[in-house]
Amino acid sequence: KWEKFYPEIKDTVDPRFLLQQKFPVNQTLNNKVAIWRGDITTLEIDAIVNAANSSLLGGGGVDGAIHSAAGSGLRKENATLGGCRTGEAKLSTGHKMPCGFVLSTVGPIGEDPDALESCYKESLDLLKEVELKSIGFCCISTGIFGYPNRNAAEVALQTTREWMEKNHEKIDLIIFVIFLPVDWTIYTHLMPQYFPVE
């Protein structure tokens, strides 16, 4: 019967979990998280997160879009960073993009919740360490790296919520930057589970 009410989420969100609240209501945290659909390279924000590969020298998907928008300076800067392992995060500047900084992280190839959790945690820890206040995440690993979209979104939201519980005073804004319609559907349905409202 749920298909009648939520036809667009068939095969994307398990209906049994739709109305489940995974965390208590916390308006302070809610005020600092958002989903936004668009091109991450256009965001005027302290830092955007790149789903990079271990070389940090550019690739396809969002990585390609970020390197094109940033210009060759990003590649030159990244060449000095010694690469990046899966689950790590490295910091560079935004070059020609309106964001201040790029946080490059390398997601797992295929489904690996611990590695994906580490990407979100390491990015947020690094943001805090350098005292930046706002960050935009792309849907790490869900493109070329093939992580199932809904499971990846659950890891992203769970990890962010847990991190926010401890660190929300240090930051102002976390944006989940959505590119594909399928992820928009998933995030709009999962958000109320991880960041419920009254």
Question: Considering the rule CB under 6 A, would residue 39 count as an interface residue with ligand ADP?
Answer: yes
Residue from 25, 180, 181, 197 binding ligand ADP (CB under 6 A): 180
For ligand ADP, the closer of residues 18 and 144 by Cβ is: 144
Measured between alpha carbons, how far apart are the two ends of the chain, in Å?
Answer: 26
Kindly state the smallest distance separating residue 34's Cβ from ligand ADP, in Å. 14
Identify residues 43-72 at the interface with ligand ADP (CB under 6 A): 51, 61-63, 65
SS3 track for the chain: CHHHHCHHHCCCCCHHHCCCCCCCCCHHHHCCEEEEECCHHHCCCCEEEEECCCCCCCCCHHHHHHHHHHCHHHHHHHCCCCCCCECCEEEEECCCCCCCEEEEEECCCCCCHHHHHHHHHHHHHHHHHCCCCEEEECCCCCCCCCCCHHHHHHHHHHHHHHHHHHHHHHCCEEEEEECCHHHHHHHHHHHHHHCCCC
For ligand ADP, the closer of residues 26 and 81 by Cβ is: 81
Kindly state the smallest distance separating residue 144's Cβ from ligand ADP, in Å. 4
Site track 67-106 with ligand ADP (rule: CB under 6 A), x = hit:
----------------------------------------
Kindly state the smallest distance separating residue 1's Cβ from ligand ADP, in Å. 31
According to DSSP, the β-strands at 173-178 and 33-37 are: parallel
Identify residues 125-164 at the interface with ligand ADP (CB under 6 A): 138-145
Residue from 120, 137, 163, 179 binding ligand ADP (CB under 6 A): 179
For ligand ADP, the closer of residues 29 and 106 by Cβ is: 106
Contacts of 107 (CB under 8 A, 6+ apart): 51, 86, 115, 116, 119, 140, 141, 145, 147
Residue from 9, 35, 41, 86 binding ligand ADP (CB under 6 A): 41
Interacting residues toward ligand ADP by CB under 6 A: 39-41, 51, 61-63, 65, 107, 138-145, 177, 179-180, 183
